[in-house]
Amino acid sequence: MNCKPRILIARAISPEVVQRLEQHFEVESNQDDVIWSPQELVQKLQGKDGVLTTGSQTIDAALLAACPQLKIVANMAVGYNNFDVPAMTAAGVQGTNAPDVLTETTADFGFALLMATARRLTESEHYLRAGKWTSWRYDLFAGAEVHGSTLGIIGMGRIGQGIARRGAHGFGMKVIYHNRSRLAPELEAECKARYVSKAELLASADHVVLVLPFTQENHHTIGAAELAQMKPTATLINIARGGIVDDAALARALRDKRIAAAGLDVFEGEPAVHPDLLTVPNVVLTPHIASATMGTRLAMADLAASNLIAFFEGREVLTPVNK
Ligand code: DGY
């Protein structure tokens, strides 16, 4: 008789992690990467003890009520705004996320998006590909300075600190940050970062980078009023979550040149993108790929797998988000 716990892998992941999980569990995996509706997910979860999610499956009270056998949900993402944590705790379901393993890769991408936005990389490439380049001009795609400019980071967790280090040590940027709480003095010194109010950050940063988690309180942290406080020459980078920025207000600010440019990896209601953002040239748009290197995605899935294995072996999970 097979007494292994039964788990579901909700999206395609690195095949070696599927194999690792198969040594411990009876696994149903979605390696064909079908996008299931919430109802299909509930159906797939019937009789499952655990599930590995990717951050795009909503785990709420309704799902938990419909899946009474479920004991653990292991997200292969650092963000877990797809979890209703109180509902999971009330249902006695363990939740885990995948922090740390993606920090440096995501900070690399944040910096890449900042550079691409400031220096108008995609806009100029589209121009060239369209055959519009006829000669050198002194102001052709002249962008914003990165080195020596002021970098404002909202959300100074591990990824925010990684971006601060890159800016301060690699590009000689003056780093200011805003966060729920101040960093310890030694961390501030290491990141060469100065704590400021959100208003001061918005008014003085040349590049504003958002790296904060999405919560109800953070909904539209950047809306029309905040965009109006930024310098007209400033750029805004969002590698955090859609919903932190009011995308409609941002599209208007970009169209009206209220700010110079934006770089967005995440969107309200993604994978849909606000149609007005698609029509403005001064925005760099990427499909939620900040942690996307094969090595990091493998490490994220592997950490989620380690959490599942630890849980069913009766050990402490490595990276709990509740209990
Ligand atoms: C995360 O880890 O939260 C990322 O957004 C998923 O790629």
- pLDDT, one tens digit per residue, over 289-316 is 999 999 999 999 999 999 999 999 999 9
- Could you report the predicted ipTM of this complex, rounded to two decimals? 0.93
CB distance 102 to 291 below 8 Å? yes
Which residues in 97-173 belong to E strands, given as ranges? 150-154
Q: Taking the domains of the chain in order of start, what are their residue ranges?
A: 6-101+294-312, 103-285
Q: Is the CB of 159 within 6 Å of ligand 1? A: no
Query: Mean pLDDT, to the nearest integer, of 163-173?
Result: 98
By percentage, how much of the chain surpasses pLDDT 90? 99
Q: Which atom of ligand 1 is nearest to the CA of 292?
A: 7
The catalytic residue positions are 241, 270, 288
| pLDDT grade for 3, boundaries at 50, 70 and 90 | confident
- Which residues have C-beta within 8 Å of that of residue 269, sequence separation ≥ 6? 242
Banded model confidence at residue 136, pLDDT cuts 50, 70, 90: very high
Task: State pLDDT tens for residues 248-292.
Answer: 999 999 999 999 999 999 999 999 999 999 999 999 999 999 999
pTM of this prediction exceeds 0.90: yes
Q: Say whether pLDDT at 1 is over 60.
A: no
Question: How far is Cα 36 from Cα 296, in angstroms, rounded to an integer?
Answer: 24
Residue 21 CA to residue 26 CA, distance in Å, equals 8
pLDDT in the model for residue 188: 98
Please tell us whether the domain made up of 103-285 is placed in CATH 3.40.140.10. no
Of 248, 249, 247, the closest CA to residue 238 belongs to 247
At 105 the pLDDT is 98
> Is 113's pLDDT higher than 60?
yes
Distance CA 242, CA 323 (A): 27
Nearest CA, atom 3, ligand 1: 79
The residue written with tokens 């007209």 in the block is 232
Q: How far is the CA of 167 from the centre of ligand 1 (A)?
A: 22
Is 67 within 8 Å of 42 (Cβ atoms)? Answer: yes
Whether 6-101+294-312 and 103-285 share one fold: the answer is yes
How many Å lie between the centroid of ligand 1 and the Cα of residue 14?
Answer: 16
Q: Phi first, then psi: what are they for 253, rounded to 5°?
A: -65, -35
Collapse the DSSP code of 105 into the 3-class scheme (helix H, G, I; strand E, B; otherwise coil) and give the result.
Answer: helix
What does the pLDDT look like over 59-69, one tens digit per residue?
A: 999 999 999 99
- Report how far residue 276's alpha carbon sits from residue 53's, in angstroms, rounded to the nearest whole number: 31
Cα separation, 97 vs 245, whole angstroms:
23
Do residues 239 and 265 make contact, with C-beta atoms less than 8 angstroms apart?
yes
pLDDT of residue 2: 60
Name which CATH class applies to 6-101+294-312: alpha beta
